[in-house]
Structure 1
Amino acid sequence: MLKLLWTDILFFILLAGFVVLIVRARGREHLRRPWRKVARSRSAVVSLVILLAYLFIAVLDSIHFHPRNQGENGKSQYQAEVISVLDSWMTPIRTRVEKTYSAPFSSYAYAKEMIRQPDGSQLWDYPRLQYGSAHLADPEHEKTADILATGMKGLGEGGLIWLLSASLVIVWRSRHDRIGLAESLKRIALGRTEIPWRAVLLTLFLILGCSGMLGELGLRYHVLGTDKVGEDVFYQSLKSVRTGLLIGTLTTFATLPLALGLGILAGYFRGWVDDVIQYLYTTLNSIPGVLLIAAAMLIMQVYMARHEDEFASLALRADFRLLFLCLILGMTSWTGLCRLLRAETLKLREMEYVQAARALGVRQGVILMRHILPNVFHLVLISVALDFSSLVLAEAVLSYVNIGVDPTMESWGNMINGARLEMARDPVVWWSLAAAFLFMFNLVLAANLFADAVRDAFDPRRAE
C-alpha cells in the first residue's frame, strides 16, 4: 500500500515544477540560447549525468509503501513498517546486519572476542562474519579471485545496460540529424557533435559499470564495511542521498517565495515598503543562523513530545523533523537572494519599457509579472544552482552538532557524527567517514561545476 510522506509529496511537486519550467523554456529563444551554451560544455553535461544518477536514487527512496507479508491465517496483510522502493530493492543488503564493525571486504569482525572451538575450548580471536564472504570456505586464499570474478560479472551487467542506452542515443541522433547509423556512431566516437555525447556516454559507462560491480559485490561482501551496530555502510550511504537532495531542493521550495516576493516588491515600490522589507531581512541577518536553527529545532522537539500520538512511527518523526529543518533553513537563507533581487529591480523599474507600461496605464501586477519577474529569473536560477551545494554541506554540519535531521535517519551528517568518536580507536575505524565524504564530495563537486556553467551561460556580461 502506497504511503507518501510529506517530504515525498513536496519533493515530487518540486520536480514537477522543474519539468514545467523546462517545457516552457523550450518555447522561448532567450532561455533556449543560454541552455544550449550549457549543453555544449563538457564539464556541465558530465556533472548533469552524475546529478541525474543521484536524483534517480533519491526518487527511488522517496516512493514509500507498506510491504505485504503472509499472516497467520494464510492471507497477505500490510505491515506497519514503511519502506521505500530503494529499501525493497536493496533488501538483501539491508537485512544483513553483523554484530559490530567490520572493514570493507573483510571476512572477519573488527574486534576480537572469545570464540568457542568445536572441541569445546575457547580462543580469543577475530570471529568470522555472519554474512560477509560467508560463502567462502577459505577467505585468505579464495577471496581475491572471487572479488575479481564477481566484480567482472557486475561490470558486464552494467555494460549491457550501457550498450542499450548508447544504442538508443545513436539511433536517436541518427534520426535527428537524418544520417546513417554508422555516421552517427562515428560523429559521437570522434566528438564531432554539438552536445558532447562522447563524454556523456563515457560518464554513463563509469556509473553503470561501478553500480553493477558494487551491486554484485554487495550481495556477498560489505564493500564499505559495517558500522557500530553492524549495518552496511554502503546501504547507509545510498540512503543518505535522498536526505542530502531533499535539504537542497525543499529548502529552495521555502526560500524562493520569500526572496522573490519581498525582493521584487522592495525594489519596485520603494518608499515605506522598501524600508519595512529592509528592516526585516537586516534584523534576521543580525541573528546568528546556527542559534536560530537550534532554537527552532528545540521548539519542534517540544511540540513532538507534547503530541506523541501524531508521530506514532519513527518514519513519521524523522520525516517531520526533516521537513521542519528544510523550512527553517529556508527562512534563514532567503535574505541574500532578496537583497540581490531588490537591487536588480531598482534598476529594471527605470528601464524604458517599464516606464512606457506605467505611462500606458498597465496595472502594477501585470508589470511585475510580465516585465520584472522574467528579467530577474536568471539571477534566481544562478543563485539556486550555487546555493544547492552549500545547503548539502549545511546538513552535514548541523547533524554533526546534533541539531540536524533525526538521529534515526540516514544522512551523511549522521554518518560523520557517528564516526568522529571512532577516529580515536586503535586501529582506526575510518570507512564510515570516508564513505560519507566520498558520496558528498561527488555530489557537491558535480553541483558546483554545473552551477558554474549555468552562471557563465546566463551572465549577460559573458553573452556571445
Structure 2
Amino acid sequence: MRLRIGLVLLALLALGALLAPLAEAWLGHDPFAPDLFKRHAEASLDHPLGTDELGRDILLRLLHGARISLAVGLATALAAALLGTAIGILAAWRGGALDAVLMRLADGMLALPALPVLVVLAAADTGRIGLPRGEPLSDILRIVVILTLFGWVGVARLARAATLSVLSRDFVRAARALGASESRVLLRHVVPNVAGPVAVATALAVAGAILAESTLSFLGLGIAPPAASWGNMLSNAQDLVFSAPWAAVWPGLAILLAVAACTLVADGLRR
C-alpha cells in the first residue's frame, strides 16, 4: 500500500513536470518573465496558485521547478547508487588491502561535515573549468556532481555488507564447488541479492538529493534564477511569509510531497 501511494505521488509530480509546457501554453503566461503589475496576486482562474514577488505565476514555476528538482534527485541517486554499488562490491569481492583503502576512504568522507563542505564546493567558481554559472544545465550538472561525491558512501558500505553476506552463504559456495566462474557468481548470485537493499537506499537518496538541492538553492548556491527550482522559490518567498504566504507554502508543500513519496517508496520496497 505504501509503495503504491509513493509511486502515485511521484507519478503525479513527474506528470506535472512533463506537462509544464502545455500548462504554460494553456494559461498564457511566461513563468520566467516578471510582471510587476501582478505582484502578490491571490489565486484566481488566471493564476490558479497566485503570483510571486515579481508577478510570475506560481503554478507554472512549481511545474518547471519540478523538472529541475526531480531531475537533480533522480540523477544524483542513480549516479551515487551505481558508483557506491561498484565500490562496495569491489571492496568485498577483492578484500585485503583494496577493501581497507576503499573503506577508509568512505570513513573519511563520512567524517567530513557534509553541509559546510557542500556549501564550499557549491560556491566554487566553476567557470574556470568551462562550466558557466547561471545556466540551468550547468547548474544541474554541478549540483549532481557535488552531491554524488558524498552520496556514494552510504551505498558503498551497504553494498559491501550485503556482498559479504551473500558470499558467505551456502548457495555461493555450492556454485563455486560446481565450477561456476567468478563472473557467473558475481552476476547471477551477488548482484541480484545486493540489488534489493541498494534499491531501498536509492529511493531514500532521491529524497535526500531533493532536500540538498533545495537547501543549496535556498542559500543561493544551487539553481540560479530566473530558472525555477523549489529551493530558490522558497528563498525568494522568505520575506513574504506574512504578506503573501502562498508564495512559500506551495514550494514547501511540493518538497514535502516529493520527499514523503520517496520515503514511502523506500519503505514499500523494504517491506
Q: 1:21 maps to what in 2?
A: none
Q: Are 1:334 and 2:270 matched, yes or no?
A: no
State how far apart, in whole Å, the 2-side matches of 1:336 and 1:282 are: 10
How far is 1:361 from its partner? 4.1
- Higher alpha-carbon deviation: 429-438 or 351-360: 351-360
**Taking CA–CA contacts closer than 8 Å with sequence separation of 6 or more, which of the two structures ends up with the larger relative contact order?**
2
Specify the SS of the correspondent of 1:374.
helix
Does the C-alpha gap of structure 1 residues 98 and 403 become closer, same or farther in structure 2, counting only changes over 3 Å? closer
Change (3 A) 1:303 1:90: farther
Matched, 1:428 2:253: no
| Partner in structure 1 of residue 12 of structure 2 | 53
Corresponding position of 1:120 = none
Check the 8 A contact 1:322/1:406 in 2, yes or no. Answer: no
2:35 maps to 98
Indicate the residue corresponding to 1:232 in structure 2.
57
Q: How does 1:396-411 map to 2 (within 5 A)?
A: 396-411=214-229
Contact 2:34 2:55 in 1 (8 A): yes
Question: Could you list the per-position Cα deviations for residues 370-412 of structure 1 after superposition, in whole angstroms to 9, with x for gaps in the alignment?
Answer: 2110111111111112222222222221212222222332011
* Per-residue deviation, 1:452: 1.7
Deviation at 1:238?
1.4
Is the CA contact 1:97–1:232 (under 8 Å) kept in the aligned structure 2? no
**2:151–2:205: 8 Å Cα contact kept in structure 1?**
no
Q: Is 1:296 aligned to residue 125 of structure 2?
A: no
Q: In 2, are the aligned partners of 1:318 and 1:408 still within 8 Å (CA)? A: no
Residue 73 (structure 2) aligns with:
248
1:90 and 1:281 map into 2 onto residues whose CA distance is 49
| Structure 2 partner of 1:186 | none
CA gap 1:431/1:354 in 2 versus in 1, 3 angstroms? same
Q: Does the 8 A contact of 1:97 with 1:231 survive in 2?
A: yes
- Could you tell me how far apart the structure 1 residues matched to 2:123 and 2:211 are? 21
Distance 1:449 1:349 in 2: 30
* Cα deviation code 1:45-104 (max 9, x no counterpart): 23322221211233345xxxxxxxxxxxxxxxxxxxxxxx44753560327853152231
1:339 Cα deviation from its structure 2 partner: 0.8
Task: Give the TM-score, by structure 2 length.
Answer: 0.88
User: 1:283 and 2:108 equivalent?
Assistant: yes
Work out which of the residue numbers 358, 371, 376 in structure 1 matches 2:194: 376
Give secondary structure in 2 for the equivalent of 1:93.
coil
Q: 1:103 to 1:377 in 2, by over 3 A?
A: same
Distance in 2 (CA, whole Å) between partners of 1:86 and 1:327 is: 31
Q: CA 1:233–1:88 in 2, change beyond 3 Å: closer, same or farther?
A: closer
Quote the offset at 1:303 in angstroms: 2.5
Tell me if structure 1 keeps the 8 A contact 2:106–2:153.
yes
Question: Counterparts of 1:321 and 1:430 in 2: how far apart (Å)?
Answer: 28
Post-superposition shift, 1:271? 0.8
Contact 1:249–1:388 (CA<8 Å) still a contact in 2? yes
Point out where structure 1 has 5 or more consecutive residues left out of the alignment. 1-40, 62-84, 107-216, 457-464
Identity %: 30
Give the CA deviation at 1:44. Answer: 3.2
Deviation, structure 1 residue 439: 2.0
Distance 1:97 1:297 in 2: 27
Moved beyond 6 Å, runs of 4+: none
Aligned mates of 1:299, 1:102 — CA distance in 2? 34
Q: 1:300-334 deviations in whole A, cap 9, x for unaligned?
A: 53426xx4xx85x96xx221111120121112111
Does the 8 Å CA contact 2:77/2:203 hold for their aligned counterparts? no
Q: CA RMSD in A?
A: 2.5
In the TM superposition, 1:15-164 aligns within 5 A as 41=1, 43-60=2-19, 85-86=21-22, 89-90=25-26, 92-94=28-30, 98-99=35-36, 101-105=39-43
Larger Cα Rg: Structure 1 or Structure 2? 1
Q: Is the 8 A contact 2:217 2:235 kept in 1?
A: yes
Q: Residues 197-208 of structure 1: matches in 2 within 5 Å?
A: none
Report SS of the residue matched to 2:180: coil
SS at match of 1:333: helix
- Secondary structure at 1:341 match in 2: helix
Deviations 1:239-285 (A, max 9, x none): 11112211210002211221111111112221111101111111112
Q: Could you tell me which amino acid in structure 2 is paired with residue 453 of structure 1?
A: G
- Alpha-carbon deviations, 1:329-379, whole Å to 9, x = none? 112111111111111211211212222333344332322112110111111
Is 2:139 aligned against 1:321?
A: yes
TM-score using structure 1 length:
0.54
Which among 85, 100, 104 is matched to residue 260 of structure 1? 85
